Structure 1
């Protein structure tokens, strides 16, 4: 009889571990944090689950005596939990939607991934390093990965023996992307900057520039509400927004309630809204986090009824790869 078959028989015939689910010693807590790369709260929860679950693997004292020297640092209880993790890893996984390439995440450097070099050894490229702190104000390092790189790292650990004791920690960066090119119009609402008629000539620069402040923003939807803008931008008073419109765009909706600006095939299609000048990168980042990575910052020409000269500006466009989530606007 192999080990897994024995575990199934034992699990069916023996109830939950007799240990008190809430009487968790500091020593056990520290052990589970180290062995399974858990926070203190996560360790407490996992121990409680192990002690109260009937269906989890339970080994006999005799069997534990035979194998414990091959599992240093473990107690019988933590070893049983490692067996449970192994069965999860072997079980067929439900298909998950593939992460989008444009999504970005912070990967915490810990466990077998202590440095950016450890991550590079898996994916073959060096990633941007970010310094931060955790809830206990301890210094923590991260690297920035996109959706494709995240999938590669996850697959690496899911297919290795370390998957039972280490799970990479990813924190999604839900921030609207801003990537304004200086030598082209990319990205501009309703314009394919690769077409000959939209290519920059004689060393001209795209406007506004990527780090140009103050910069005029076109707002529609919830960002066109002065009280909301005042809170987001930490203003002392509600801003005075100026009515305006832009062309080459159309507004649709997603989730049945949120307005989403997308490209229009009609160059004369107009969207009405309001303009406001953003004075710093900090204010702009607040807007980017509010809109999330479902949107991206793009150039546009903002037009006012009292002026014949359009104002080069920026706005938030819904990301193309999520267009299947859209429906026609009101």
Structure 2
């Protein structure tokens, strides 16, 4: 685009700017649904991007005469003039590039992202969601209790995108993004383990590991010991989180290969210490997947589940067991200290 065209676009966009169109209440439902369908946004994302797009005076603009030449073709694909302009913009292309780069650098991001899809309207039941998202099996269903009982299906990021792409034009559904700690324990190596770089030759298995020698704990092992530090080492808080069906009994313990810091000014975070640092906390025996899921949702996607050695401090003396803990992966720590 040359500078003259850019100036003309800027002038036209300023002249047509209507502040009321940038409020949630003034964005027609049809427009929100259109952007969900075309660009794979959730309802919240569509509203946010529409507001931001309309407030951008430098946005891409197509002359009305040029649009009239192609409007029938583009409307058949679901576009109106505004949505088509957005699809040509550097803003949208940049979002796509970032999404592609993120996907390339972190292949399991979509798999680990978790969404709840409310079963209503165009997605009335699990079978409809399975068909629209192309799922090989029926999705897991969760029940929400409030003034009424609601049913939600659990899907990952890829499933969510397929669902939005295949929803009939003009329809929508409620999608809630939730975050939980990743748990992806390798069956063929010690990855991931606190304080252990499993990419180093000396830490890699020399040959395929037989099934009966799978590194412990494995993904499906229950009950399983966890090492807790910070808020999860508070028995009262842990009891409220897990509920009455999961009695709480914490055992003083310590682990190696880590060090503690904080993030967001208040949350404790355990990270690797390849020098063999020692961290004190408590051991807790997680009885089943239900309890573990509650812990993973509590810790959010800022953490991941990793293997570690837990040294229980019992009256009989130290007792080392193979267990798990939550390692921080959310970014730079604001403060660090050694224990």
The TM-score bracket by the shorter chain reads: 0.5 to 0.7
Q: Is the 8 A contact 2:116 2:177 kept in 1?
A: no
Which is higher, the Rg of structure 1 or of structure 2? 1
Partner of 1:81: 82
> How far, CA to CA, are the matches of 2:211 and 2:292 in structure 1?
30
Q: Is the 8 A contact 1:105 1:171 kept in 2?
A: no
C-alpha deviation, 1:222, in angstroms? 0.9
Secondary structure of 1:218's partner? strand
Q: Gaps spanning 5+ residues in structure 1: where?
A: 118-126, 158-168
Do structure 1's residue 301 and structure 2's residue 310 form an aligned pair?
A: yes
C-alpha deviation, 1:225, in angstroms? 0.8
Partner of 2:298: 290
Q: Is the 8 A contact 2:194 2:327 kept in 1?
A: no
Written as runs of structure 1 = structure 2, the 5 A alignment for 1:105-124 is 105=113
> How far, CA to CA, are the matches of 2:204 and 2:81 in structure 1?
67
Do structure 1's residue 179 and structure 2's residue 171 form an aligned pair?
A: no
Q: Is the 8 A contact 1:128 1:143 kept in 2?
A: no
C-alpha deviation, 1:326, in angstroms? 5.8
Shift in CA distance, 225/66, structure 1 to aligned 2, threshold 3 Å: same
Q: Is the 8 A contact 2:255 2:308 kept in 1?
A: no
Q: Is the 8 A contact 2:60 2:86 kept in 1?
A: no
C-alpha deviation, 1:284, in angstroms? 0.5
Shift in CA distance, 220/210, structure 1 to aligned 2, threshold 3 Å: same
Shift in CA distance, 87/173, structure 1 to aligned 2, threshold 3 Å: same
Shift in CA distance, 130/311, structure 1 to aligned 2, threshold 3 Å: farther
> How far, CA to CA, are the matches of 2:262 and 2:24 in structure 1?
48
1:278 to 286, 294, 306: 286
Partner of 1:195: 202
> How far, CA to CA, are the matches of 1:173 and 1:185 in structure 2?
28
Partner of 2:171: none
C-alpha deviation, 1:216, in angstroms? 2.0
Secondary structure of 1:303's partner? strand
> How far, CA to CA, are the matches of 2:224 and 2:270 in structure 1?
19
Partner of 1:165: none
Written as runs of structure 1 = structure 2, the 5 A alignment for 1:1-330 is 10-11=12-13, 16=18, 29-30=29-30, 33-34=33-34, 37=37, 68-72=71-75, 79-86=80-87, 88-89=89-90, 93=94, 99=102, 101=106, 103=109, 104-105=112-113, 131=139, 142=155, 144-145=157-158, 174-182=179-187, 184-192=189-197, 195=202, 204-235=213-244, 239-267=248-276, 269-293=277-301, 294-308=303-317, 310-319=319-328, 324-325=332-333, 327-329=335-337
- Per mean C-alpha deviation after superposition, the further-off stretch among 290-299 and 219-228 is 290-299
Secondary structure of 1:178's partner? coil
Q: Is the 8 A contact 1:50 1:81 kept in 2?
A: no
- Superposition CA RMSD, Å: 5.6
> How far, CA to CA, are the matches of 1:72 and 1:240 in structure 2?
62
C-alpha deviation, 1:96, in angstroms? 6.1
Q: Is the 8 A contact 1:31 1:73 kept in 2?
A: no
C-alpha deviation, 1:105, in angstroms? 2.9
TM-score (normalizing by structure 1): 0.59
Secondary structure of 2:269's partner? strand
Q: Is the 8 A contact 1:259 1:329 kept in 2?
A: no
Q: Gaps spanning 5+ residues in structure 2: where?
A: 123-130, 166-173
Q: Is the 8 A contact 2:35 2:83 kept in 1?
A: no
Q: Is the 8 A contact 1:132 1:141 kept in 2?
A: yes
> How far, CA to CA, are the matches of 1:237 and 1:141 in structure 2?
23
